[in-house]
Structure 1
Amino acid sequence: MAAHYQVVVNDEEQHALWPVGTPLPAGWRAEGFTGSEEECSAHVDEVWPDIRPLSLRRRTAGPAAGAAE
């Protein structure tokens, strides 16, 4: 039987795969998707196209984005 995984996410909106039934590390929460490793990886690829941490995305989109208007 294939291992069953869940997609987890942290406050920086970084995603990871974690075995179902294994306690999550501090700072991570279940995203709601479970499946095989391949299914979870495909889901992460779909929902997390920009792999930069949220804080970096915010910094690079900051005031300069408004100045371009």
Structure 2
Amino acid sequence: MFDDESIDFLVVINDEEQYSIWPAHRELPNGWHGVGTPRPREECLDHIERVWTDMRPKSVREAMERQAAEA
């Protein structure tokens, strides 16, 4: 399903600011929100590659920032 080039996908993001793609015709899973409009799979993956530059979950990034500020 996720490698089907004939359907459009959505870029999705969760509360931890982790990205994925999801078939546009399916209901989004709990905890995920669509970003932008439906588009071809490769366009979604290109977008994710451009914007998701730090793969660490948001909670980990924030904890590391707090730890660095305390040091």
| Range class of TM-score, shorter chain | 0.7 to 0.9
- What's 2:51 paired with? 47
- What's 1:25 paired with? 29
TM-score (norm 1): 0.84
In the TM superposition, structure 1's runs of 4+ consecutive aligned residues that sit over 6 Å from their partners are none
Percentage of identical aligned residues: 42
The 1:33/1:57 distance shift into structure 2, 3 A limit, reads farther
- What's 2:18 paired with? 14
Separation in 2, partners of 1:34, 1:43: 12
TM-score (norm 2): 0.82
Separation in 2, partners of 1:66, 1:36: 45
Deviations 1:19-67 (A, max 9, x none): 0010011111111143111110010011111011000010111141364
Separation in 2, partners of 1:2, 1:29: 22
Separation in 2, partners of 1:3, 1:9: 19
AA matched with 2:13: V
- What's 1:61 paired with? 65
